[in-house]
Structure 1
C-alpha cells in the first residue's frame, strides 16, 4: 500500500533566464523515475514564474498500452486501476485489468499479464505549479511484455528540464538536454535554482522549515475506499483561501484511513501570513474535517469512528 507521503520540489528561475526561456517558448517539464529510467513527461508548464512548487504523492494507476513511441503522447489502451506499492493487478485474456490486491514485492507494482503482448504503464497523482491536481502518465514500458508477471518500480526521484514544443504525457527515449535529477528517496522536499543556464542548489534551502501539520483525521469507514480516489476528492476542495494547504492520505487497509492536512512547503510573504492567520481560526479545523466527510459521501462510504486531532 502507498505510504501517502507528500514530496515536493521548488524550482527557482533567475530573472534573466526567465525572460530568455519565455521569449523562446520553453516549457518547464517534470518526469518521474520508474524502473531506473525517465520516459514520459509527467507535467509540462507554460505559466511558470520565478518560484514554482511541484508536489506529488505515491498514488498510482496501472494501465496497458499498445505502443511506445518517442515524441508521441501516451495512449492508454486498457482500463486504469488504482494501485499502491506492494499491489498487483491482473490483465485478463480479454484485456481487462482487475482490481488491485496485495501481492508482489513491497517496493513495486506487479502486472500479471494473461492477455499477451502489452506495454505496461503507470500514471501518478501530482499537483502542478498552479496548484491543480491531476493523475497523468509517468511511464510506459518501451518493449512489450509477454504472458507472465512484470514489476514496475517507481522511485521517489524526478527529473526537471526546459523544452520547447512538448506536452504532458509525451513519451521520450532520448536523454533530455540540460536536465537535473532530484532524489527524494531520503527526504520530502528540495530546492533547485536555474541561473545562467545552469542548475544549482541554493544556500537558502537550509532556511526553510518542514511544513507544519494542521489536522490529522483517523477514520474507520463502513466500506473499503481507494486511497487515490479519497486523496484526489479532498485535494480538489483545497482551493481559494485553502489553496496553500495540502493533504496526504494513508491506509493500513481499505476501511481504515489516516488523513493529514499540512501547510504547503516554502510559503513566504503574503501567502505565509494568510495561511498562518487562517490556522488561528477554529473554523478552519471544522471546514477541513467537513472536506473529509464530503469526500466520504462522494465515494459512497460512511464512517464508524472518526478522531480529528488538530496540531502544528
Structure 2
C-alpha cells in the first residue's frame, strides 16, 4: 500500500434495522486489526444514519500504557510519538519515548523497551462518520512486555459492529457479537449493508473513480506525500465527504493532486456528488483546500494550475 493511501468503508443500514438499533441505544463501532487481533474501539458513534462513511490513513502514534483492562478506556501512560511502518522508537529508562527513526520490521512498528514492564500501544488517524478527523487508540498489548523489543503490526482490516453502552477507546478482550470484518489490504474502499440483522455486500454501483479536478503545483520547498494527503483529506468533510484525493510528488518540488469521486457510493450519494461538481465554485474550493494545506506545511508555490474534468 502507498504511504498515506486513504481507506474508506461505507456502512449502509436498512430503514427498519436503523429504527430498531436507535430505539435500543446501539452504537456503530469500528476497530482496527493490530497483531492479528482487535482489542480497542477505534470509534463509537451514536448519531449514525442510513449511510455512513468512515475513513482512515496509515498515520500512527506509538505510546505505552501501564495496563490492559477489559471494558475500560485506554489510559496513555507515556508521551506519544508519530511513527510509521518500518520505524522504531526507544522507550528510555525514564519512561520517555524518543523520536521515531528507521529500523525494525519493514511491515511493523518496533518499540525498543529500555524502561521495564509496559503495555505497548498504537493510536491511528481517522475521519469519523461526521467528517471529524482525530487520532485515537486502536491497540494496547494485552500482555505487558519486559525490556527488549516488540513489534506492532497494523493490518488494513477493520471490524464493524453495533453495541450498547460502549465508548471510543474502550479496551475489550472478547469477540464482539455479530461483527463483520472488512479486509482492505488489497482494496481502498468497501461497502457493507446491515439489513434484517445480518451483514452483506451490496452490488457495486461504481468500480472506477471519476476524476474531478487535477492540480499541478511547483512548491518552494519539498513536502511529504503522507503529510500533504492528511492535510487535504481532513478538509474533505460535509458536502465534500464523498470526494477523495490522490497525491503524487514528481521530480523536484512538483506535486500533483487528483480529486475524484469515492468508489462504491450509493446511488443517492453519487447523484448528490455529481450535482455538487456542476457548481463552478467547487473547483475553486478544492483548489483552496490544496493552497491551505501548502500553507499549513509552510510551502509556498511558484506556479499552480487547476483543471476540471470535462
- TM-score exceeds 0.5: yes
Task: Specify the TM-score bucket, using the shorter chain as the normaliser.
Answer: 0.7 to 0.9
Who is 2:221 aligned against?
222
Q: 2:81·2:99 contact (CA, 8 Å) conserved in 1?
A: yes
State the shift of 1:124 in Å. Answer: 1.2
Question: Displacement, 1:21?
Answer: 0.9
In structure 2, the residue matched to 1:182 is 182
1:297 aligns with 2:289: no
Structure 1 residues 53 and 239 mapped into 2: Cα distance closer, same or farther (>3 Å)? closer
Q: Does the 8 A contact of 1:221 with 1:305 survive in 2?
A: no
* CA pair 300-261 structure 1, distance change in 2 beyond 3 A: same
The count of residues paired between Structure 1 and Structure 2 equals: 308
With 238-247 and 301-310 compared, the bigger mean Cα shift is at 301-310
Conservation of the 8 A alpha-carbon contact between 1:81 and 1:97: yes
Deviation at 1:261, TM superposition (A): 2.9
Partner of 2:168: helix, strand, or coil?
coil
Matches within 5 A, 1:278-293: 278-280=276-278, 284-293=282-291
Instruction: Report the CA distance shift for 1:256/1:126 in structure 2 as closer, same or farther (over 3 A).
Output: farther
Normalised to the residue count of structure 2, the TM-score between the two structures is 0.86
In the superposition, relative to structure 1, how do residues 76 and 201 fare at CA in structure 2: closer, same or farther (>3 Å)? Answer: same
- List gaps (5 residues or longer) in structure 2: none
Q: Using structure 1 for the length normalisation, give the TM-score.
A: 0.85
Q: Label 1:60 to 1:304 Cα distance change in 2 as closer, same or farther (>3 A).
A: farther
Deviations 1:244-299 (A, max 9, x none): 323355779xx886654332334445643443344456654444333233223223
The 8 Å contact of residues 32 and 158 in structure 1, kept in 2 or not, is answered as: yes
Unmatched tracts of structure 1, length 5 or more: none
Residues in 1 aligned to 2:7 and 2:25: alpha-carbon distance in whole angstroms: 28
Answer yes or no: is the 8 Å Cα contact 2:189–2:264 preserved in 1: no
Query: Who is 1:244 aligned against?
Result: 242
Q: Which residue of 1 aligns with 2:209?
A: 211
Q: 1:104 to 1:220 in 2, by over 3 A?
A: farther
CA distance in 2, matches of 1:90, 1:2: 26
Superposed displacement of residue 137, structure 1: 0.9
Change (3 A) 1:95 1:40: same
